[in-house]
Amino acid sequence: MTFQSLEYLIFLLVVFLLYWTVCCRSKTLQNGLVLVSSLVFYGWWDWNFLGLLFFTAISTFFAGWWLGKTNNQRKRKILLVGTIVMNIGILFFYKYFNFFVQAFVDAFSLFGTKMSVSTLKILLPVGISFYTFTALSYSIDVYQRKVEPTKDMLSYMAYVMFFPSILSGPISRAQKQLPQYFGLRKFDYNIAVNACKFILLGGMIKLCLADRLGIYVDTIYANIAQHNGTTLLFTSILYSIQIYADFAGYSLLAIGSGKLLGIKLPTNFIRPYFAKTVTDFWRRWHISLTTWFRDYIYFPLGGNRCSKARWMLNTMIVFTVSGLWHGAAYTFIIWGAMHGTCMVVERIIYGDKIKNISAKFSVANFLRLMVTFSFVNFAWIFFRVNNLDDVMIIFKKIFTEPGKPFFDTNTFLMGFVAMVIVFTYDFIKEKQLNIHLLSSHFMVVRYATAIMLIVYILAFGVFNGGSFIYFQF
């Protein structure tokens, strides 16, 4: 049951109706419904991993409860470390075990020692990277006394398992999101309408842009050797747009679904391709993950309040870990390290001025934007390919095999229209222009825009495009 499916739409409608009719008088009922519906939603994917999800939620809940009970700093530390090791250990086992075993074998083979180690057939539980981080944020926040430990297990379970964000975030943070579950949610017309706009936009971006471009991108990447450098370069640009549309579309759908139930989820994207530096890009891309890494890895390592060399190391560590978080492959690690390196280089070039680059339009800013996009686009190639050999083929072809690009008129025609809509919308938001269609003062304009969007989705959406790219992480 993916967000863009009809099953989900019906599921959400049923939950919405029950939530605001049967359960609207009690927060216990509301949280209970959220929990039950989240279990149904997650179980729909794979009920085999429900136990694991429960374990993560319960272990972090009791860790928080215990952390609140004791003032002994040593005990608290042991408890926190234990919780982190346990949960990261589970994540490690499911996601990285085979990768590290293989890396170990590869490392030995470099020295001429051939090892035969069999790997395990491990299925990755969907959403594990996301819900583990959501749950851990609570334990760490309680340890740091930023959050009061809760005794309300139901609210906590609803927070960790909240179905709109369980599969691919946005990663919730206990400090901001958890208190919402402690009170009774009241229906607000404006918030609900706003939620529908998010869902509509998210659906359009995912179905009409991401999945449309996905048809072309997947075809080319499935057969890299057959295509020339121009096609591969062009495809890499389209992939940059596809991954943005896919994940931003997903995030809008998740945030919209949350809002419909009166739960505000964190913002995940702020028009990342309008970034003028890579540093700026990371303030706009997958914000909930970036801030998680900032608060729980970068700051504890010393952040930028240390020597320059140490700061560089901290940045590199955070981005390499971020790469590894995305997937157990060298390509992801390189992708993360590339971003880390670029941020270090930017900091050296710009110094403290990096925070104050003007938002106004200028040739210099336009060039910065283009350079940033080019770098990000270049790095996405590592993100998309299956192995490093493919990267080598792509780069070799881009620089040595120009030619006429492979062109699929139908996909481009439909993808291009969606691209224009999405980037015009982003441009209006970025420049804060006073153009509002879905939020116009005129009812006719509002309704007409919504109807046009639905008609556009029905006419040009790709409904069999499969799931979201970030589900694999």
* Contact residues for other proteins, defined by CB under 8 A: 5-7, 20, 24, 186-189, 192-193, 196, 225-226, 410, 413-414, 447, 450-451, 454-455, 458-464
DSSP 8-class letter at 178: G
Residue-wise DSSP of 324-347: HHH-SSHHHHHHHHHHHHHHHHHH
Distance CA 91, CA 285 (A): 23
| Helix pair 229-260, 388-400: axis angle to 10 deg | 130
- Which own/partner contact pairs does 418-424 have at CB distance under 8 Å and 24+ positions apart? 418/204, 418/205, 418/208, 418/209, 418/212, 418/245, 418/460, 419/209, 419/241, 421/204, 421/208, 421/456, 422/204, 422/205, 422/209, 422/245, 423/273
Distance, first Cα to last Cα, the chain? 17
Q: Shortest gap between Cβ of 451 and other proteins (angstroms)?
A: 5
Residues 109 and 422: their CA atoms lie apart, in Å, by 49
Q: Which is nearer to other proteins, 445 or 454 (CB)?
A: 454
Contacts of range 431-438, beta carbons closer than 8 Å, 24 or more positions apart: 438/197, 438/200, 438/201
Comparing CB distances to other proteins, the nearer of 8 and 247 is 8
Nearest CB to other proteins, comparing residues 194 and 377? 194
Closest distance of CB 463 from other proteins, Å: 7
In the bound state with other proteins, the residue whose beta carbon lies nearer, of 88 and 196, is: 196
**Amino acid sitting at position 313:** L
Neighbours of 49 (CB within 10 A): 19
Query: Which C-beta is closer to other proteins: that of 187 or that of 423?
Result: 187
Q: Could you tell me the smallest distance in angstroms from the CB atom of residue 26 to other proteins? A: 13
Query: How far from 49 is each of 46, 127, 138, CA to CA, in Å?
Result: 6, 10, 21
What CA–CA distance (Å, rounded) separates 298 from 275?
A: 22
Q: What is the DSSP letter of 49?
A: G
Residue number, 221 or 293, with CB nearest to other proteins: 221
Measured from the CB atom, the residue of 108 and 447 that comes closer to other proteins is 447
Cα distances from 243 to residues 34, 235, 262, 314, 381, in angstroms, run 29, 12, 28, 27, 11
As annotated, the active-site residues are 326
Minimum separation from the CB atom of position 188 to other proteins (A): 6
Q: Which of 402, 384, 466, 410 is nearest to 220 (CA)?
A: 384
> Nearest approach, Cβ of 421 to other proteins (angstroms)?
15
CB of 444 to other proteins, least distance (A): 11
For residue 191, give the amino acid letter.
I
Residue that is written with structure tokens 């481009």 in the block: 412
User: Residue 448 CB, nearest distance to other proteins (Å)?
Assistant: 9
**Between residues 302 and 402, which has the closer beta carbon with respect to other proteins?**
402
Q: Which two tokens stand for residue 363?
A: 């040739």
Instruction: Provide, rounded to whole angstroms, the least separation between the CB of residue 223 and other proteins.
Output: 11
Cα 112 to Cα 114: distance, rounded to the nearest angstrom? 6
